[in-house]
């Protein structure tokens, strides 16, 4: 069972979830390049200019550890990284668990009135990226509470902010562009691996309509609407997250 963290995070974000699966699975945790304990010397901005290289990193981990028929659990952007990996080498994965996923963060129309609704206009995304480029620390402080949700538990937003600030800023700037500007909607029809979609409520990054879109686009998928609020139920509601995954894998 392979756990992949989201943007600006590291493998520690799974510390309340992963231990619940050790009895039944060989669990694997890792850090994306630029995050946690990953070797910065491996970072190449030309290679990491799309989610494809991140997916290839997942495949390299599977090859190194000789994983087959693994359950891939991906949070946020790592959900699409897992989708790309499973499309490329489907024999390596038995199930995907997509936690607060989004195939595209940008609306088809500026006001979201027509077509696909990802939650943000192009101007919104451009502003977020410009803000991050201008002052990464300030961006982290402003965005972490919004992303986390749960304002009555400010310690969660503070933890996410600290995680953002530990991420290498050069890698983070490019990963942000890759994350928020990617459009993986055309890839969804190519996926053959069964998938669980965990849709949190009041998610400012991946609203409920995105979960509905994915459920319709991914054949044989299962959609679970969580009571958990915000974009990081692996931290804010680990028991509900664990229960939903266990129920699906049964």
Q: Which helix (H) or strand (E) holds 40?
A: none
By annotation, the residues acting in catalysis are: 76, 203, 231
Beta-carbon-side half-sphere exposure of residue 208 (alpha carbons within 13 Å): 8
Supply φ then ψ for residue 145, to 5 degrees: -65, -35
213-220, long-range: CB within 8 Å, 24+ apart, which pairs? Answer: 213/103, 213/116, 214/98, 214/101, 214/102, 214/103, 214/188, 217/103, 217/185, 217/188, 217/189, 218/188, 218/191, 219/191, 219/192, 220/194, 220/195
How do the residues of the chain divide into helix, strand and coil, expressed in percent and rounded to 5? 50, 15, 35
């Amino acid at each position: 069972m392979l756990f992949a963290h989201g943007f600006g995070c590291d493998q520690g974000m799974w510390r309340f979830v992963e231990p619940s699966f050790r009895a039944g699975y060989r669990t694997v945790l890792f850090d994306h390049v630029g995050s946690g304990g990953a070797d910065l010397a491996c970072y190449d901005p030309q290679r990491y200019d799309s989610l494809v290289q991140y997916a290839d990193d997942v495949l390299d981990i599977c090859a190194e550890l000789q994983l087959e028929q693994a359950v891939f659990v991906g949070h946020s952007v790592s959900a699409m990284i897992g989708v790309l990996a499973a499309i490329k080498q489907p024999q390596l994965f038995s199930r995907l668990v997509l936690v607060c996923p989004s195939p595209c963060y940008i609306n088809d129309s500026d006001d979201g009135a027509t077509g696909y609704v990802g939650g943000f206009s192009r101007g919104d995304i451009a502003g977020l990226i410009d803000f991050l480029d201008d002052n990464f620390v300030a961006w982290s402080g402003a965005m972490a509470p919004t992303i986390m949700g749960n304002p009555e538990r400010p310690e969660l937003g503070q933890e996410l902010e600290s995680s953002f600030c530990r991420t290498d800023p050069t890698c983070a700037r490019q990963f942000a562009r890759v994350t928020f500007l990617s459009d993986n909607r055309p890839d969804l029809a190519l996926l053959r691996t069964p998938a669980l979609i965990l849709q949190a409520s009041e998610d400012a990054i991946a609203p409920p309509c995105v979960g509905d879109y994915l459920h319709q686009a991914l054949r044989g998928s299962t959609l679970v609407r969580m009571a958990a609020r915000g974009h990081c139920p692996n931290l804010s509601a680990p028991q509900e997250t664990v229960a939903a995954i266990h129920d699906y894998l049964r």
